[in-house]
Amino acid sequence: MKITNLFMAAAGASLLASTVIAGSHEARGRDGHANIIYWQAASIMNPYLSGGTKDIDASSMVIEPLAHYDENGNMVPTLVDEIPTVANGGVSADLTSITWKLSEGLKWSDGSAVTANDVVFTANYCMDPNGGCQQLAKFGDVTGVEALDDLTVKITFGSAKPFPYGPFVGSTTPVLQAAQFANCSGAAAPTCTEANFNPIGTGPFVVSEFRANDTISLTANTEYRDPAKPAFESLTFKGGGDAASAARAVLETGEFDYAWNLQIAPEILAQMEAKGMGTVLSGFGPLVERLMINLTDPSASLGDARSTVANPHPFMSDIAVRQALSMAIDRPLLVEVGYGKAGKVTCNVLPSPAIYDSPNNAGCEVQNIDGANALLDEAGWVMGSDGVRAKDGVRLSILYQTSTNAVRQDFQALIKQWWSQIGIETELKNIDAAVFFGGDQSSPDTFQKLFADLEMYANNFDGTDPEAYMGNWKCSEIPSPENAWLGGNMPRYCNADYDALVAEMAGTADIAERARLAIAMNDMLMQSYSIIPLVHRGNVAAAANTLKGVKLNVWDSDLWNVADWSR
Amino acid sequence: MTDTTIIEGKGRTLWGDVWDQYKTHKGALIGTAVFMFILFAVFLGPYIYKVDPQYLNIRDKNQGPSLTHLLGTDQLGRDMLAQVLHGGRVSMAVGVIAMAISLLVGTMVGLLAGYFKKLDGPLMRLTDLFLALPLLPLLLVIIMLFRDTLRGMFGPETGIFILIVFIIGATSWMHTARIVRGDVLAQKEREFVLAAKSIGTPSRRIIRRHILPNVLSPIMVSATLGVANAIITESALSFLGLGFPSDFPTWGRLLFDGANYMTLTPARVVWPGLAISLTVLSVNFIGDGLRDALDPRIRGR
Amino acid sequence: MFNYTIRRLIFTIPTLLFISFVIFFILDTAPNDPTGNLPLTIPPEVREKIRISLGLDKPMFFRYLLWCQQFFINEPLNMIEQWFNITIGDGDRLRVQSWATRSPVVDLVVERMPQTLWVVGMSYVVGIIIAIPIGVISAYKQYSWFDQIGTFISMLGFSVPTFFTGLLLIVIFSVNLGWFPSIYDTTLKVDSWGNFWLQVKQMIMPVMVLAFFNAAQLSRFMRASMLDNLQQDYVRTARAKGLKERVVVLTHVLRNSLIPVVTVIALGVPQVFGGAIITEQIFKVNGLGQLLIIGIQGADIPLVQTLTFIFAVLIVLFNLIADILYGLLDPRIRYD
């Protein structure tokens, strides 16, 4: 025992010595300049005023939250020393409050000290009713935020929260400097252009020039807490163009070091990578491309009652039809054609994190045209002379809509052909993304209204907890004229047992129990075939081979560890 | 009394003269031949080359030209030649009809604005209004308002076709109108117009018989540019999801889809690009020939 | 002429107001939505709150009048304050703000002027310089090989879309040859010969793509106009008088032919500011065209309204200039 202790001490000492020695060789800013390209340009450096991923990522280089998610989905402390849990007393036993303790000696980039006051101010900034804060959902159910002393913040919730890590965890909710944003609360928030473009933060970089929708020039933060980081003295964050040209800039011309979100056909990406200047990185979060079946009748003749629960769908209400639709799809081929390495086949709408991945739905990986045909024959859908099945005068004719996107259009073409082999006639429709995902009441093309028989898109959730995500399919979340179509339950799925599981999960704290409930909910959805999952999509990025330290993170900002990058 | 012998010869008509002059313009003849060839290819070709342009055969994806697929395949294994032929129908129809609409509206507005001083102000301000309108939001609005009714009345493809042709025609007439107006303003002061007015020719006849033939030159140029513009605008619309359904090939769309595959399968961009360019070039030469043939000062030179 | 000009200028004000209202109406009726591009993780209730905070719950006419007040009154006051370094009133007034960047639209426009003028403006000039000689020679030697090849190349420039030519040039010159950068650096300060050379290198490809496109149209009009004039009687007279051919063509015919071409050029100037959307996207020049398309796709109504209105002003203005030029240059034209 004593000898092992001695060994441990010696090992520890030498490790310490080597890091000290190594540390003195590494200086901040030794690697010069780096270039990052995001094909969607950043508009503002304040994620509270813009929830777009590009803006969150851009601001994550300058302002930071109390804790980040790392590339495996685990929480890592950033401005604190340890993550509060029930075990270490940070979270109260009744799960209604969480206390964060800031690290000692943290400084803003202008030299002033970081205090709990800044955290309190930021929370109030977002919760201000007139502010239009885009991250309000993260502060849902927060009843109070107070500073217990200079370095301690206590957040209180209205009800017990098994997962209290909503506010200030992840780059979507960073801490702002109270002094800088003092006059920017509420309705005045959008007027503070200077602060919104050049926030004072604790992150590794500071903004030296911000050109909206174009380029951001950044320099290393001299007050950053780790004196050896960042390795780069300056950074350029350029925006604009499209994904293919961004990939080209990193992989073929070498003008840039990192490109984000490369949604390009896999063969083109492979060809670019073959040039040898850069590497394609991919990581899998919870993003799933899926078909949402409309269980209600979208026929235009119903007028205002279109796509409402008052009228069940003439043929989609038949589970045999929905199951046949799913069986006819060749998912491995979809992955190969659309995403290559950046996609995986999935039979679950909740495939990630791994503890929530249900093993009970395997079998959808193999296309089964004959089985689908047999199923439809059995259910009484007779093949007509025009190749389209019909029963009681109802023809299986589908309107299939999705957003405008080359890969999605390819999927539509493939799926249309497979469905024609089982006697289903399909009409394809694609809608501009800003219209499809927008909430304009007057447009009939939004994905909430679902004035079609089914639609395809991808969805995911923030962070690692699926509670809010699975809650999307409660009966109360059905979009309808009464709630101005503001709901997340596109298939109009309504099942009392499902709602009961959602309520149970809201009160369960044990992770294993939560996983069991999530899996049960997923199975219920999958086995009703109201949602047909297609591809588990990953994030794809490209990094130059000379760039070291990049860890693609699907749970947080792509640039979460830009302080650790070097050449 | 002198006996006047009537010499019987070949009767000369205006259109006969025009055709005679047209024949001497080699470029116009080649242009007409090419255009006719493309027309026949796209309208009759699909009956000869019976491959379905929408049939996907993944195993054959991204291939270059071969015996089974004469022009290669795209990333989903669809045959390129079939797509170019079928796409040609739509592209040429859109190009020609949209160009005709914009030409008609533009010429009419230009003639009226140039000839009648009272109409000049309001018509030109209307032109300014249309020039200033942002095309994309306008398209979104029109499509939102009319897509479903037209789809219900004519079926998805014909409905969209009518909508697109109308939109392109209604948003590209302004340039022609301005140019024609400029030319009419110049022609209006010429002596033969004054002469016609002095013998009491009504305005509409002056415009039709005297002014219109003399402003043919810019109209012909606009026609050519109009065809190219219509085809390219249609491809931009498809790209934005405001055009034809995604599995409906058109030349512009083929070019756009194939652009990123340029280094992988160049055949994908060469053929639609060539098709568009040849169509535009042939229309251009036909326009040149027509303008020369219809101009009495060149005829018989 | 003078009366005509004054009349037109007075008439532009109600025209522009009407145009601004039509544009606002179209933008408001369009079905896209400013929250449409936000990640789906933001729940629908929060999106509704965002829309309310942007002012979308107020009636359309109210918002239009608000924009009018911000643009026609507040912005000029702000400009006067900045130029003369004075403060009018309390100096704290609402300016037209973009919803995406939450910053004044006019500031964004001013920020992007340099690259727009450098790239798109320069390409327009280059296009003119290329087009006029080609048009003249094509017309003079009609049906010769120069004419046919010139026609072919100019038609090619017009019929092949810019997204294709741009991409082709990038693949050849950036990827394979490595001569020019494929991405435009807007922060490059030209303060030394080295930087000047870098600026030229990054401008060559986008300028050539656009110039090719512009030259096609202009050369066709130039050629048509020259052909019309070469048949005129005064040309025969000039030749009969014994004037040198070069004088006949360049002094007499060219000057008269330039009249319609000059008007076409004047009409094309507003396009410099907003028309090169695709080329700007491909080379990431990030000028006014790119700003407009980002605004349209993000349903950023104040930004698109202000930009489109600025373009409308330019269009109306340059139409007026073209008309006046036409009246001045061509003695046959009489407006009154």
Q: What's the confidence (pLDDT) of residue A18? A: 45
- Element at C270 (helix H, strand E): helix C254-274
Q: Which chain C residue is nearest to residue A434, measuring alpha carbons?
A: C36
Which residues of chain B neighbour A412 with C-beta distances below 8 Å? Answer: 246-247
Tell me whether the omega of the peptide bond preceding residue A47 falls within 30 degrees of 0, making it cis. Answer: no
Helices (H), A83-168: 116-127
Q: Which residue has the tokens 């426009």?
A: C109
Q: What's the confidence (pLDDT) of residue A24? A: 42
Q: Which chain A residue is nearest to residue B156, measuring alpha carbons?
A: A427
Distance (Å, whole) CA C48 – CA C43: 9
Distance (Å, whole) CA B58 – CA A372: 21
Provide the 3-class DSSP secondary structure of residue A239.
Answer: strand
pTM value surpassing 0.80: yes
Among the listed residues B251, B114, B248, the one whose alpha carbon sits nearest the alpha carbon of residue B188: B114
Axis-axis angle for helices B156-171, B216-239 (nearest 10): 130
Label the pairing between strands A75-77 and A142-149.
unpaired
Residue B270 token pair: 């060469």
Label the pairing between strands A397-403 and A425-431.
parallel
Instruction: Give me the phi and psi of A322, to 5 degrees please.
Output: -60, -40
Distance (Å, whole) CA A155 – CA C253: 83
Q: Which residue has the tokens 């500011």?
A: C273
Residue C305 token pair: 């309204």
CB contact under 8 A, B62 and A403: no
Closest-CA distance, B129 to chain A, in angstroms, reads 25
Provide the 3-class DSSP secondary structure of residue A102.
Answer: strand
CA angle, A156 then A161 then A166, to 5°: 75
Label the pairing between strands A215-220 and A205-210.
antiparallel
Using the Cβ of B210 and the Cβ atoms of chain C, whether some distance falls under 8 Å is answered with no
Axis-axis angle for helices C288-297, C105-115 (nearest 10): 140
Low-confidence ranges of chain C (pLDDT < 50): none
Sequence-ordered list of residues with C-beta below 8 angstroms from that of A480, at least 6 positions apart, any chain? A308, A309, A487
| Torsion angle of C-alpha atoms A187, A188, A192, A196, degrees rounded to 10 | -30
| Torsion angle of C-alpha atoms A552, A556, A557, A562, degrees rounded to 10 | -60
CB contact under 8 A, B246 and A268: no
Is the distance from CB of A86 to CB of A97 less than 8 angstroms?
no
Is the distance from CB of B35 to CB of B287 less than 8 angstroms?
no
Is the distance from CB of C30 to CB of C305 less than 8 angstroms?
no
What digits encode the pLDDT tens for the residues B205-250?
A: 888 888 888 888 778 777 877 887 888 788 777 666 667 777 778 8
Among the listed residues A563, A386, A350, A333, the one whose alpha carbon sits nearest the alpha carbon of residue A460: A350
Quickly list DSSP for A263-280.
---HHHHHHHHTTSSEEE
Residue A415 token pair: 């799926």
Task: Give the neighbours of chain C: at least 3 Cβ pairs within 8 Å.
Answer: A, B
Question: What are the start-end ranges of the E strands in A294-355?
Answer: 343-345
Using the Cβ of A332 and the Cβ atoms of chain B, whether some distance falls under 8 Å is answered with no
Distance (Å, whole) CA C4 – CA C325: 12
CB contact under 8 A, C38 and A460: no
Quickly list DSSP for A8-37.
HHHHHHHHHHHHHHHHHH--TTTT-EEEEE
C114-329 sits in which CATH class? mainly alpha
Is the distance from CB of C155 to CB of B277 less than 8 angstroms?
yes
CB contact under 8 A, A51 and C182: no
Mean pLDDT over all residues of chain B?
81
Distance (Å, whole) CA A536 – CA A459: 10
Residue B37 token pair: 């060839």
Residue B146 identity? F
Which residues of chain A neighbour B257 with C-beta distances below 8 Å? Answer: 406
Q: What's the confidence (pLDDT) of residue A240? A: 85
Tell me whether the omega of the peptide bond preceding residue B202 falls within 30 degrees of 0, making it cis. Answer: no
Closest-CA distance, C269 to chain A, in angstroms, reads 24
Provide the 3-class DSSP secondary structure of residue C290.
Answer: helix
Q: According to the 3-state scheme, what is the secondary structure of A385-413?
A: CCCCEEECCEECEEEEEEECCHHHHHHHH
| Torsion angle of C-alpha atoms C236, C237, C242, C247, degrees rounded to 10 | -70
- Name which of B125, B145, B282, B285 to mutate to probe chain C: the one with the most chain C Cβ atoms within 10 A of its Cβ: B125
Distance (Å, whole) CA B28 – CA B293: 10
Which residues of chain C neighbour A484 with C-beta distances below 8 Å? Answer: 48
CB contact under 8 A, A439 and C33: yes
- Element at A382 (helix H, strand E): strand A382-383
B/e letters for C189-198, b = 16+ CB within 10 Å, e = fewer, are: eeeeeeeeee
Distance (Å, whole) CA B88 – CA B71: 15
**Residue ranges covered by each domain of chain C:** 2-84, 114-329
Distance (Å, whole) CA B92 – CA B228: 10
- Name which of C163, C168, C283, C284 to mutate to probe chain A: the one with the most chain A Cβ atoms within 10 A of its Cβ: C284
Q: Which residue has the tokens 């019987």?
A: B8
* Residue among B75, B241, B263 whose CB faces A271 most closely: B263
CB contact under 8 A, A196 and C183: no
Cα within 13 Å of Cα(A219), Cβ side: 5
Among the listed residues A435, A434, A417, the one whose alpha carbon sits nearest the alpha carbon of residue A426: A417
Is the distance from CB of C117 to CB of B246 less than 8 angstroms?
no
Distance (Å, whole) CA A61 – CA A205: 6
Per-residue pLDDT tens digits of chain A, which is 567 residues long: 455 454 444 444 444 444 444 444 478 888 889 999 998 889 899 999 888 889 999 999 999 999 999 988 889 999 999 999 888 888 988 889 999 999 998 999 999 999 999 999 999 999 988 888 888 888 888 999 999 998 999 999 988 888 888 899 999 999 999 999 998 888 888 888 889 999 999 999 999 999 988 999 999 999 998 888 889 999 999 998 888 889 999 999 889 999 998 888 888 888 899 989 999 998 898 999 999 999 999 988 888 888 999 999 999 999 999 999 999 999 999 999 888 888 999 999 999 888 899 998 888 899 999 999 999 999 999 998 888 999 988 999 999 999 888 789 889 999 999 999 999 999 988 887 878 887 777 778 889 999 999 999 999 888 888 988 999 999 998 998 888 888 889 999 999 999 999 999 988 888 889 999 999 999 999 999 999 999 999 989 999 999 999 999 999 899 999 999 998
Using the Cβ of C52 and the Cβ atoms of chain A, whether some distance falls under 8 Å is answered with yes
Low-confidence ranges of chain B (pLDDT < 70): 1-10, 238-242, 296-301
Distance (Å, whole) CA B17 – CA B37: 25
Label the pairing between strands A33-38 and A425-431.
unpaired
